[in-house]
């Protein structure tokens, strides 16, 4: 038999922008409480819809739940992908455009500005009669940059009169004031805007799969055709989401701990003579001084998983923000590899 | 403020063919064990795929997991619904045909035989150049009847040379020998057959959402475009499925307890002078002597949820098989209402 090398122990999982501080103890308790009835189909989704609707000042028919926001991105990809071109940033979260390409969509990828933000002016110029959807990830993944709120709102108001705008707000809960930054207000004003939210980040639910979109009721109806909806969410996850939604104390705590770890990472990078893109989210992108693929491999050998990108003629690394012991493991490996 | 009537206490939930004996203690333990890592995206799906592949003698590329079989029925509805007509039984499980209609599919609903089985001969005669898919639910829902295995295998072999055959085996684990009845063998032989399975029934996972299809790798690729796949399944549910899959002892126990409750139901119906369709699954259909809607309402007032159907010019009730105390609650209410 072949002698196999012992697998590397993973010390820091910093590749998927997960939140290692969650889910809250209330969510865990709710999962535990749900075990006796989890032989039943998940019927409690309406409680969660009701809670979100009340918190946001929406009607339940504005909301579509599913097992994370990903199946809803797929629904949008299927619907709009068959209708024309999708305008997105470059680089930006590629999930929706990539899925839309399966349905023959043309993708118009607009380079970021010099400060690594989505270039709204350039994106607006690309809107024409072939545009089926404009996709905005805010804060943007993988750069961690956030758009000026007033500028985004004005952009969305103008554009949504011509073509639907999809705002992916997966990381918005890491902002100091998510409620002033969200585009849910635009939906309430009747604009043709679809806002995607997820419990996978601040709520710590990446493994529990709960997300939703908010849009005009007719758009919700249209996209519902392509999605299984709330019946895809496990009953324990629905109960956990109900239990942790609006737990402001827990969320503040997650954001504060993330901020602490992020500042530590900034300091490590500065000390080693690296620049970075200041991040509004739970991940940081910085330019490498070596090949990205090799960097990922070398870090992986040291038990640290991260991701690399290439854009603007440079090699980049994206590090998710973990617990302090994970950031220290990153720092130790980075000192060896950088 | 208005005085509201106290809500009726639900004594027996017998409307959704759930399995109130599950999930197994091993599955519950696995969920508990998963809580510390459920902030991570669900990456363990490959363990479950591997387990299913080994048990069935398939390759992983023959298998597509999702959050229950429903999102996979939707994927098939989207794909085949755009291509032509779908042949199904009448009555049979309407989920796939109903979803396909959203995508403009014509539905060819073929009445059951006199003994309430899918009429394979009549279905075969309906296959023509417009047929996109033949949908077979075996055992059939809502009648609980099972097809002769040799006849179904011969049918599938012939038909699948002309058009794909989708076999929904949601209830197959209630048969005495599921492995001799499943059409997974046809997939192994290279036939153009799609077999859908779920953990929602014997495994007691209706609220946990785990299901899969088995088909030729090219068909899996095709249908993958329309489905989020394993990433929709919560990490606790994946671990629970891994823990309970192949727990033959647990499954035998569930089937035996279901059989015991079912025999009790048969006896109640006989004693009250009712006929019923002998059932191979965890539900029983019987003809009513009153309006179905009124029957459901009257039973509901007594804390028993069941479902009604109308077909063949008759009013019918479908009762899911529950725990003995639920069957006794059914019997007590039935004596009052029938």
- In tens, the pLDDT along A235-262 reads 999 999 999 998 889 999 999 999 999 9
pLDDT at A1: 39
Q: Say yes or no to pLDDT of B247 above 90.
A: no
Mean pLDDT of chain B: 96
CB B137 within 8 A of CB B90: no
Of B31, B40, B102, the CB nearest to A35: B31
* Pick among B39, B43, B200 to test the A interface (most A CBs inside 10 A): B39
B138 interfacial to chain A (CB closer than 8 Å): no
The pLDDT tens digits for B77-112 are: 999 999 999 999 999 999 999 999 999 999 999 999
Nearest to B16 among A41, A103, A237 (CB): A41
Cβ A329 vs Cβ A12: under 8 Å: yes
Q: What are phi and psi of B239, to 5 degrees?
A: -65, -40
Residue A236 tokens, joined: 């324990």
Residue A6 is predicted with a pLDDT of: 62
Residue A207 is nearest to which of B16, B32, B234, comparing CB atoms? B234
CA B89 centroid distance within chain: 14
B181 contacts B222 by C-beta, under 8 angstroms: no
Domains and CATH numbers, chain B: 12-21+248-337 (3.90.1150.10), 25-244 (3.40.640.10)
Q: How far is B296 from chain A (nearest CA, A)?
A: 19
Q: What is the pLDDT along chain A (338 residues), one digit of tens a residue?
A: 344 556 678 999 999 999 999 899 999 999 999 999 999 999 899 999 999 999 999 999 999 999 999 999 999 999 999 999 999 999 999 999 999 999 999 999 999 999 999 999 999 999 999 999 999 999 999 999 999 999 999 999 999 999 999 999 999 999 999 999 999 999 999 999 999 999 999 999 999 999 999 999 999 999 999 999 999 999 999 999 999 998 889 999 999 999 999 999 999 999 999 999 999 999 999 999 999 999 999 999 999 999 999 999 999 999 999 999 999 999 999 999 98
Residues 6 or more apart whose Cβ sits within 8 Å of residue A130: A84, A85, A106
- Judge contact between B212 and B69, C-beta under 8 A: yes
Q: What are the pLDDT digits (tens) for B22-78?
A: 899 999 999 999 999 999 999 899 999 999 999 999 999 999 999 999 999 999 999
Q: What are phi and psi of A287, to 5 degrees?
A: -80, 140
Does the pLDDT at position B2 exceed 80? Answer: no
Answer for the pair A142, A309: CB distance below 8 angstroms, yes or no.
yes
Task: State both tokens at B32.
Answer: 């508990």
Number of other CB atoms surrounding residue B196 within 10 Å: 25
Taking CB atoms and an 8 Å limit, are A78 and B74 in contact across chains?
no
User: Cβ separation of A42 and B226 shorter than 8 Å?
Assistant: no
A49 phi-psi bin (left φ>0, alpha ψ -120 to 50, beta other): alpha
Cβ–Cβ contact B8 with A under 8 A: no
- Whether residue B81 lies within 8 A of chain A, CB to CB, comes out as no
Residue of B nearest to A25 (CA): B35
At what angle are helices A45-56 and A235-244 packed, to 10 degrees? Answer: 30
d(CA A141, nearest CA chain B) in Å: 17
* Residue B221: pLDDT band with limits 50, 70, 90: very high
In residues, how long is chain B? 338
Q: Which residue has the higher pLDDT, A8 or B277?
A: B277
Q: What is the rounded distance in angstroms from the CA atom of residue A307 to the CA atom of residue B246?
A: 37
Question: Which chain A residues are within 8 Å of B209, Cβ to Cβ?
Answer: 42, 67, 231-234
pLDDT at B156 over 50: yes
Q: What is the pLDDT of residue A5?
A: 58
Q: What is the pLDDT of residues A36-76, one digit of tens each?
A: 999 999 989 999 999 999 999 999 999 999 999 999 999 99
Is the CB of B70 less than 8 angstroms away from the CB of A231?
yes
Phi, psi of A233, rounded to the nearest 5 degrees: -90, 135
A322 close to B (CB below 8 A): no
Mean pLDDT of B320-331: 98
Using a CB-CB cut-off of 8 Å, the residues of chain A touching B35 are 28, 31
Q: Measured between beta carbons, which residues in chain B are less than 8 angstroms from residue A204?
A: 38-39
B237 at A interface, C-beta within 8 A: yes
């Amino acid at each position: 038999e072949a002698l196999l090398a012992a697998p590397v122990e993973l010390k820091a999982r910093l590749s998927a922008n997960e939140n290692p501080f969650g889910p809250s103890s209330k969510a865990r308790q709710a999962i535990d409480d749900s075990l006796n009835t989890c032989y039943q189909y998940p019927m409690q989704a309406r409680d969660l819809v009701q809670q979100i609707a009340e918190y946001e000042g929406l009607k339940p028919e504005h909301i579509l739940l599913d097992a994370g926001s990903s199946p809803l991105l797929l629904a949008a990809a299927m619907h709009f992908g068959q209708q024309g071109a999708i305008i997105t940033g470059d680089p930006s979260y590629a999930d929706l455009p990539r899925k839309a390409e399966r349905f023959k969509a043309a993708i118009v990828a607009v380079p970021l500005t010099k400060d690594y933000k989505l270039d709204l002016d350039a994106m607006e110029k690309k809107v024409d009669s072939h545009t089926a959807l404009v996709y905005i990830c805010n804060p943007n993944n993988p750069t961690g940059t956030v758009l000026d709120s007033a500028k985004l709102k004005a952009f969305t108001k103008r554009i949504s009169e011509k073509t639907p705008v999809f705002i992916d707000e997966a990381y918005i809960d890491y902002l100091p004031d998510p409620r002033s930054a969200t585009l849910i207000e635009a939906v309430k004003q009747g604009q043709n805007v679809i806002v995607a939210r997820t419990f996978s980040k601040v709520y710590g639910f990446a493994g529990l799969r709960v997300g939703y979109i908010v849009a005009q009721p007719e758009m919700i109806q249209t996209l519902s055709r392509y999605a299984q909806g709330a019946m895809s969410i496990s009953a324990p996850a629905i109960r956990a989401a109900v239990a942790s939604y609006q737990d402001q104390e827990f969320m503040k705590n997650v954001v504060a701990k993330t901020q602490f770890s992020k500042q530590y990472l900034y300091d490590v990078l500065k000390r080693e003579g690296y620049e970075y893109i200041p991040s509004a989210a739970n991940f940081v992108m910085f330019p490498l001084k070596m090949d990205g693929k090799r960097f990922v491999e070398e870090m992986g050998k040291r038990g640290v998983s991260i991701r690399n990108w290439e854009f603007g003629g440079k090699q980049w690394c994206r590090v998710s923000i973990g617990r302090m012991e994970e950031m220290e493991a990153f720092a130790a490996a980075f000192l060896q590899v950088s």
